[in-house]
């Protein structure tokens, strides 16, 4: 029997990437229907009860008619959509967390949901290092000065220059797929790496990094970079008390999740010159609202939540999802299923 699959791509994880990856995994016995979602031409947002979704429930319900497998990054797989998709058995979301899927409703309907962890780990790690370099070498601010006709030679003053990576102590809060890659990249610059992560031990770190407490990491690190997942324990884990532990003239970087950090406390630490600089790809509210202190506080480098944006990320996402489709149809165990009880 031929299986019908819906490739609900967008303008980042393109449909042809999904289609090519599925056909490479399964050359025969599968038909593919396509739906193109508007993200990122149009911002994602909440749809029904799910978050970070793109497109409409009605369009998705129509596209899922007769479909057994859906591969998507942003489609709004709400309870309403899932209960209307009578033939659907597998959803593969090409992102690390399937927040656009109502997992409870999928499990009730015996629909397995898979994700694509690590798809953007290399891109995010590279972006993190780029952000560190941009803030300690004032690349963004001096570029803007030059385009405005201002030559800032005064930045050569000793009290205005930042540290080098070589010889610096870098503290990584979290040592998962991204944090571990950041460590490897920074080691190439000659930096010493400290790690705080309750889920790893020193044996796992080997000679790459030294495992320590959060307080010790903060008090010893010239640069601190956040790579933890958001949980009740990690939400706003870095605030005024923790920032005060950091050495004067240090730097904090967040390319993970905005909820990890108290941004007002960072602005206070920058205004008092306790911190030298900061770099952020993620924020407590996105887009950044007008009037935010982040837009006026000195020596902050910011990018609009695109650390994971690379051509390799899009291709990796399609490949990981296609692998799950192949395993499902061959009756093999799924690697990244978030609700295995749906398979019982």
CA 90, 91, 97, 103 torsion: positive or negative? negative
Of the chain, the end-to-end C-alpha distance in Å amounts to 22
* pLDDT above 90 for 316: yes
User: Do 148 and 12 fall into the same domain?
Assistant: no
Catalytic positions, please? 257, 286, 305
User: Would you tell me the crossing angle of helices 15-25 and 311-329 to the nearest 10 degrees?
Assistant: 40
User: Do 129 and 274 fall into the same domain?
Assistant: yes
User: Do 68 and 171 fall into the same domain?
Assistant: no
Mean pLDDT of the 40-48 span: 95
- Using pLDDT thresholds of 50, 70 and 90, give the confidence band for residue 44: very high
- The tens digit of pLDDT for each residue in 50-64 reads 999 999 999 999 999
Assign 72 to helix, strand or coil.
strand
The 8-class DSSP code of residue 267 comes to H
- The tens digit of pLDDT for each residue in 282-302 reads 999 999 999 999 999 999 999
User: Do 263 and 328 fall into the same domain?
Assistant: no
- The tens digit of pLDDT for each residue in 182-235 reads 999 999 999 999 999 999 999 999 999 999 999 999 999 999 999 999 999 999
Dihedral-angle region of residue 305 (phi above 0 means left; psi in -120 to 50 means alpha; beta otherwise): left
- The tens digit of pLDDT for each residue in 255-285 reads 999 999 999 999 999 999 999 999 999 999 9
User: Do 178 and 244 fall into the same domain?
Assistant: yes
Dist. CA 149–CA 136, nearest whole Å: 22
User: Do 9 and 25 fall into the same domain?
Assistant: yes
* Residue span of the structural domain in which 83 resides: 3-119+310-343
* C-beta atoms surrounding 137 within 10 Å: 17
Query: What is the total count of domains within the chain?
Result: 2
* CATH number of the structural domain spanning residue 209: 3.40.50.720
Dist. CA 265–CA 237, nearest whole Å: 12
Assign 323 to helix, strand or coil.
helix
- What is the reported pLDDT for 344? 79
Dist. CA 72–CA 6, nearest whole Å: 8
**Residues 6 or more apart in contact with residue 136 via CB below 8 angstroms:** 162, 163, 164, 165, 223, 251, 276, 277
User: Do 137 and 275 fall into the same domain?
Assistant: yes
The 8-class DSSP code of residue 11 comes to S
User: Do 65 and 41 fall into the same domain?
Assistant: yes
* pLDDT above 90 for 27: no
* pLDDT above 80 for 1: no
* pLDDT above 90 for 170: yes
User: Do 85 and 181 fall into the same domain?
Assistant: no
What are 195's two structure tokens? 């790690």
Mean pLDDT of the 101-129 span: 97
User: Do 170 and 294 fall into the same domain?
Assistant: yes
User: Do 110 and 141 fall into the same domain?
Assistant: no
User: Do 134 and 244 fall into the same domain?
Assistant: yes
**Which residue intervals of the chain are DSSP H helices?**
15-25, 57-63, 79-84, 103-108, 121-136, 139-147, 177-187, 202-205, 214-220, 240-245, 263-271, 311-329
């Amino acid at each position: 029997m031929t299986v019908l699959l819906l490739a609900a791509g967008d303008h980042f994880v393109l449909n042809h990437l999904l289609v090519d990856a599925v056909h490479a995994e399964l050359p025969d016995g599968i038909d593919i229907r396509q739906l193109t979602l508007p993200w990122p031409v149009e911002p994602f947002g909440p749809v029904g009860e799910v978050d970070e979704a793109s497109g409409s429930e009605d369009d998705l319900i129509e596209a899922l008619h007769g479909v057994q497998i859906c591969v998507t990054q942003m489609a709004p797989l709400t309870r309403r959509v899932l209960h209307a998709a009578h033939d659907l058995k597998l959803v593969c979301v090409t992102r690390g967390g399937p927040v656009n899927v109502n997992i409870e409703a999928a499990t009730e309907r015996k629909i397995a949901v898979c994700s694509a962890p690590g798809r953007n780990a290399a891109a995010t790690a590279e972006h993190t290092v780029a952000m560190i370099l941009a803030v300690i070498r004032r690349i963004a601010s001096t570029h803007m000065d030059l385009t405005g006709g201002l030559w800032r030679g005064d930045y050569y003053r000793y009290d205005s220059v930042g540290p080098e990576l070589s010889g610096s102590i870098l503290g990584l809060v979290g040592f998962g797929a991204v944090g571990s890659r950041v460590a490897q990249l920074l080691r190439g610059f000659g930096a010493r790496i400290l790690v705080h992560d309750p889920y790893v031990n020193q044996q796992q770190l080997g000679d790459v990094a030294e495992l320590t407490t959060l307080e010790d990491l903060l008090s010893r690190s010239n640069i601190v970079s956040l790579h933890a997942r958001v949980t009740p324990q990690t939400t706003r884990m870095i605030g005024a008390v923790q920032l005060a532990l950091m050495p004067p003239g240090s730097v904090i970087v967040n390319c993970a999740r905005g909820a990890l950090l108290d941004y007002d406390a960072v602005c206070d630490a920058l205004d008092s010159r306790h911190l030298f600089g900061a770099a952020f790809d993620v924020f407590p509210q996105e887009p950044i609202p007008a009037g935010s202190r982040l837009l006026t506080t000195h020596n902050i480098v910011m990018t609009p939540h695109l650390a994971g944006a690379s051509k390799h990320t899009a291709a990796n996402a399609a490949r990981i999802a296609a692998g799950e489709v192949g395993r499902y149809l061959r009756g093999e165990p799924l690697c990244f299923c978030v609700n295995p009880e749906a398979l019982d």
